[in-house]
Amino acid sequence: MSITITHPALEPGQAGGLRTSNRLVVAPMTRVSAAPDGTPTPEMAEYYAEFARGGFGLVITEGIYTDTVYSQGYLNQPGLVSERHVSAWREATADVHEAGGSIVAQLMHAGALSQGNPYRDDTAGPSAVVPQGVKMPEYGGHGPWAAPKEMSLDDIRQAVDGFVASAANAKRAGFDGVEVHAANGYLLDQFLTDYTNLREDSYGGPVAARVRLAAEVVAAIRAEVGPDWSVGVRVSQTKVNDFRYRWPGGAHDAEVIFAALTEAGASYLHVASEGRNWLDSAQLDRGLTVTGLARRVSGLPVIANGGMHHAELSAQVLADGHADLVSVARAALVNPDLPRRLAEGRALDSFDHAMLSPMVTLDNVRRWRLAAGADA
């Protein structure tokens, strides 16, 4: 006898103008499995469609690079800057739609955290500040980061134009929207972060100026794609190379950031936890949570991230008004049918880091699954 579970994440959701069959979202996860020229492969299309077949209402892609200058962060990262890219992504979006899901393209400019860019050897960021930590071997990097060049105003305009052009390409490729990657230490977050942005022009200084570039990107995309298409924004306090960072102004900074992105035309806000549990990363001063504050300030749908595969936690986050949707990353890799399992009361398989070792490629996932099947 089958069991049907009632859970708020299984109810229909909405990410701006995009209506979803439920509130379960696949979080963006870098896969570095595209062709060398950034063209998505048939294997990638199957990878995304599997989540839709498993019941996820919305799939957000890995970060997609947006220009042929400074934006690419990793070798074999997919792009949205050529007709070949658009054509290949069209196959992926069609497969997801056929499986009953929706799919959003995350648009990413790596900035100073680029560790593999065939278009050029140097990097660029808000200021000539060497990033903390070292490059990530699971994404094909090794050794210390290089000092980026400080971006000129022309460089900034070129970056904005790349976001806009790639958003237009995403729309032509059949995506249901885009998500502007302003999180995790990449370019837009580098402008937002006080110690990587030492500029003395209108893009540096107080938080209202440091968020300016992210807001300009959102506004420019909105002007290009029209009022109804979904344009989300992902933000975070922590970064891939700094898990301890917090917005120095706490709730005040959060309010300024959320208000600016809302005014710019964002459809939804996606608050990332960078591999940490929501309970550990969402707390602000005055007893607030960053996701709850995002909802209150913006009035937009908010996606919470961080341990949301735990049914009790995701139920609490949704029922108590901390967020409108929840995104799942690594647990979705090992449980691409997580929504169906949740609805049927079935246990989830545990994540095994071997799935991502030595690199976070789809080839490694395939080998892991074959080995797991052999061991079963």
Residues assigned a catalytic role: 186
Residues ≥6 apart with Cβ < 8 Å to 172: 86, 90
| Token pair in block for residue 245 | 């960072």
Q: Give the chain's largest Cα–Cα span.
A: 66
Residue closest to 78 by CA, chosen among 112, 56, 58, 107: 107
Strands (E), the chain: 13-15, 18-20, 24-26, 58-65, 102-108, 124-125, 149-150, 177-184, 230-239, 268-271, 302-305, 325-328
Helix %, strand %, coil % of the chain (to 5): 40, 15, 45
Residues ≥6 apart with Cβ < 8 Å to 252: 207
**Phi, psi torsion values for 264, nearest 5 degrees:** -70, -15
Q: Looking up tokens 């975070």, which residue turns up?
A: 236
Q: Are 56 and 101 in contact (CB under 8 A)?
A: yes
For residue 333, the tally of other CB atoms under 10 A from its CB is 22
DSSP sequence for 322-349: S-SEEEESHHHHH-TTHHHHHHHTPPPP
Give the span between the Cα atoms of 254 and 250, in whole angstroms. Answer: 6
Cα torsion 43, 47, 49, 54: sign:
positive
